[in-house]
Amino acid sequence: METGVDLAALATWMDQRGLGSGPLERVQRLAGGTQNILLRFTRSGRDYVLRHPPSHLRSNSNETMRREARVLAALAGSDVPHPALIAACPDPSVLGAAFYLMEPIEGFNASQGLPALHAGDAAMRHRMGLAMIDAIAALSQVNYRAVGLEDFGKLDNWLERQVGRWAAHLESYNDMPGWTGPHSIPGVARVASWLNDHRPKQLQPGIIHGDFHFANVLFRHDSGDLAAVVDWELCTLGDPLLDLGWLVATWPEKDTPHPTDVAITPWDGFATPDELVARYAAQTGRDLAHLDWFAVLACYKLGIILEGSHARACAGKAPKEVGDRLHAHTIHLFERALRRID
């Protein structure tokens, strides 16, 4: 139970599904970008990774695990680099929460530092950025109906619902005592108004990852290619251009990254935002006339999400240092949105 998971119950469940026999060996907890529990272990000579919600479940933890497992199963055989699903348990009675087992990924998270091979090769770093585009381009091409995900999200009025949904999310932070309020975010009302006034007329539906950036991909140790896209908890149906907008919104605008941009050193060699967009256009053939709208929406949505930590910190429910740091990110994102609008 030191791992946060009842390993004996897990072994029994695996026995029932013919997934090896005997003890779970070399159990280690993996670091991840979320509070979810990731355990790597070996059984009968095969390696597994368990993904399980945090010990203190959130209201949507079980449904999130079920959705993640469902999308990983749907992506099997596609060109999208992803962890291969081995088995899933939607029943929370086995381990106290829904969970699933997947194949381990041999790769590294660039946001945690570059290995010597990649740090010493600008051409390889250039390939890393293009590989990220290739991944979301491939995802946008998956026929969500053909893989059984036609009910995976609400497409009706998807474009029309975006601003109102996140504006209401921001408004909910007023319940946090001491929050500095929306006036501390530059241009929040102007950005919302611009998004409503310039909304695309037509949705290009598809599967979206929902949180696509450097921290949610793993790169191969021997090349600039992706090993896998990870953390699928926000995956849904919508317009895949939001994934491209999200990547552009979190990508450094200049050769020298802003202090709140992704901290990857060295940065020289990485593709420019224009190169990323051109690559996506070439890979997908999608109409990118409204890309600015999706990039601004990404700034708006992500900025509001990050501001939640600041609001909780103001109320004494999160560390002040974390709240201040993420508030700075929110400000930077809205400043980027305003520059793109102008």
- Whether the full predicted model's pTM is greater than 0.85, yes or no, is yes
What whole-number percentage of the chain has pLDDT above 90? Answer: 90
Tell me if residue 320 falls in helix, strand or coil: helix
- Dist CA 85 CA 53 (whole Å): 16
Determine contact, residues 189/341, Cβ cutoff 8 Å: no
Q: What CATH topology corresponds to 7-102?
A: Phosphorylase Kinase; domain 1 (3.30.200)
Determine contact, residues 236/153, Cβ cutoff 8 Å: yes
In this predicted model, what pLDDT tens digit does every residue of 256-313 receive, in sequence order? Answer: 777 777 768 899 999 999 999 999 999 999 999 999 999 999 999 999 999 999 999 9
User: What pLDDT does 34 receive?
Assistant: 55
Q: Which residues contact 274 (CB under 8 A, 6 or more apart)?
A: none
Q: What is the mean pLDDT of the chain?
A: 94
Q: Where is pLDDT greater, at 140 or 55?
A: 140
Both tokens of 41, joined, read: 């272990």
* CATH 3.90.1200.10 residue ranges for the chain: 110-341
Sign of the CA dihedral 119, 121, 124, 129? positive
Distance between terminal CA atoms of the chain?
Answer: 54
Determine contact, residues 304/166, Cβ cutoff 8 Å: yes
In this predicted model, what pLDDT tens digit does every residue of 209-260 receive, in sequence order? Answer: 999 999 999 999 999 999 999 999 999 999 999 999 999 999 998 777 777 7
User: What pLDDT does 334 receive?
Assistant: 97
Q: Is the pLDDT of residue 1 over 60?
A: no
Q: Which residues contact 122 (CB under 8 A, 6 or more apart)?
A: 266, 268, 269
- Dist CA 143 CA 4 (whole Å): 37
In this predicted model, what pLDDT tens digit does every residue of 97-120 receive, in sequence order? Answer: 999 999 999 999 999 999 999 999
Q: Is the pLDDT of residue 161 over 60?
A: yes
- Dist CA 248 CA 264 (whole Å): 16
Architecture of domain 110-341: Alpha-Beta Complex (3.90)
Sign of the CA dihedral 106, 110, 116, 119? positive
* CATH 3.30.200.20 residue ranges for the chain: 7-102
